[in-house]
Amino acid sequence: MNAALQCDSRAHPTASTLPGAYYTSPDVYAEEMRRVFGRSWLCVDRADRLEHPGDYVLASVAAQSVIVVRDAAGQVHALHNVCRHRGTRLCEASSGRLRETIQCPYHAWTYGLDGRLIGAPHMSGVPGFDRRDYPLHRAALVSGEGFLFLNLAEAPEPFDRAFAPLLPYVARFRLAGLRTGRRIEYDVRANWKLLFLNYSECLHCPIIHPALAKLSPYQSGQNELTEGPFLGGFMTITREGGSMTMSGAPAGPPIAGLPEHDHRRVYYYTIFPNMLLSLHPDYVMFHTFRPEGPARTRVVCEWLFPPETLEPGRGNPDDAVEFWDMTNRQDWRICELSQEGVASPAYTPGPYSEREALLAAWDSEYLRRMES
């Protein structure tokens, strides 16, 4: 981080909002990509999206492209999307199914789904050339609670240790056994940090989300995780036996094994730096963020349900999807207005209220990562 940014962050009291440059500066954005996204465990997808051998998705992280692919043995690999010959991108489509190999479109160097180089035309006469020396470069990849997490660091912190504070809070929702019912992608013209901050408080809910405020009192619940990379807690559901849906009725049967008190709670957790996790009695919603500049964020939202809810006649998953798609779009619009405001020379940092403690805690974690 350059000296000017270091000075800004040290001068910033975490009880106030960040200076505008943190939301608008290309230099800050470049440092975020290097210090935060280039070193953190990032959620890239659900493991069950790669159902068959050859299924892949491209993960775009900090200006790097990584192929996340399942091989014939069922193993999932994270392979840099860069040919070892002359650096050409191997895959262009954001997802798809490969046959048995990955072939460069330029000179046909060919790799196994595990990244091994298995074919290199016209290289047999090159002295000392050995295909074993040129596999695709790898990135660290783990599966946790049914999600795939990627880390670009050369020596990342072990995933189990990094996520140890969060896992006890989510294990009872049996996330690995849930199935995707819907996936929606959004293009939001706002800085990725504003989306996190918006998610971390509900003081805006009576104004921006009147339908949500009817289903869940905006001052209800309590925070459970209050510092570090995982923040959040629960809010209550007004109606006994209800849920966060357009109708207020459950989208389907409750998630098996939940204790009784969870049937009237929704848990909201931020997972630094690219994931939001919302745990409902009858379904789970999660968002992943992909920053595409200081003032633009790609957001993927997915809804996960018990398998029986997705069976014909057993549930109404669209009731939940429609409710949160409406709420998402309300949030994205107010975040875009916030982006316009913080970009103004008239903007100066403002104080957080006592009910915005999670926002101050999130800022503190962000600044710690930026200064490390």
What does the alpha-carbon distance between residue 126 and residue 115 come to, in Å, rounded to a whole number? 22
CATH of 166-371, one of 3.30.420.10, 1.10.274.10, 3.90.380.10, 1.10.3720.10: 3.90.380.10
Which residues, in sequence order, are CB contacts of 316 under 8 Å at separation 6+?
A: 245, 247, 249, 251, 252
CA 5 to chain centre: 26
What does the alpha-carbon distance between residue 121 and residue 214 come to, in Å, rounded to a whole number? 65
Q: What's the pLDDT score for residue 312? A: 93
* 71-95 CB burial, b ≥16 within 10 A, e <16: beeeebbbbbbbbbbeeeebbeeee
Retrieve residue 176's tokens.
Answer: 């690995």
Q: What's the pLDDT score for residue 14? A: 57
Report the amino acid identity of residue 120.
A
Q: Provide the whole-model pTM.
A: 0.93
Determine the Cα angle at 331 with ends 59 and 178, to 5°: 50
* 105-127 CB burial, b ≥16 within 10 A, e <16: eeeebbbbbbbebeebeeeeeee
What does the alpha-carbon distance between residue 44 and residue 250 come to, in Å, rounded to a whole number? 28
> What fold does the segment set 42-156 form as a domain?
Rieske Iron-sulfur Protein (2.102.10)
Retrieve residue 344's tokens.
Answer: 């103004």
State the DSSP string of 9-73: HHH--TTBPPPTHHHH-HHHHHHHIIIIITTS-EEEEEGGGS-STTEEEEEEETTEEEEEEE-TT
Residue limits of CATH 2.102.10.10 in the chain: 42-156
Residue limits of CATH 3.90.380.10 in the chain: 166-371
- pLDDT digit string (tens) for the chain, length 372 residues: 332 333 333 333 458 999 999 999 999 999 999 999 999 999 999 999 999 999 999 999 999 999 999 999 999 999 999 999 999 999 999 999 999 999 999 999 999 999 999 999 999 999 999 999 999 999 999 999 999 999 999 999 999 999 999 999 999 999 999 999 999 999 999 999 999 999 999 999 999 999 999 999 999 989 999 999 999 999 999 999 999 999 999 999 999 999 999 999 999 999 999 999 999 999 999 999 999 999 999 999 999 999 999 999 999 999 999 999 999 999 999 999 999 999 999 999 999 999 999 999 999 999 999 998
What does the alpha-carbon distance between residue 66 and residue 59 come to, in Å, rounded to a whole number? 5
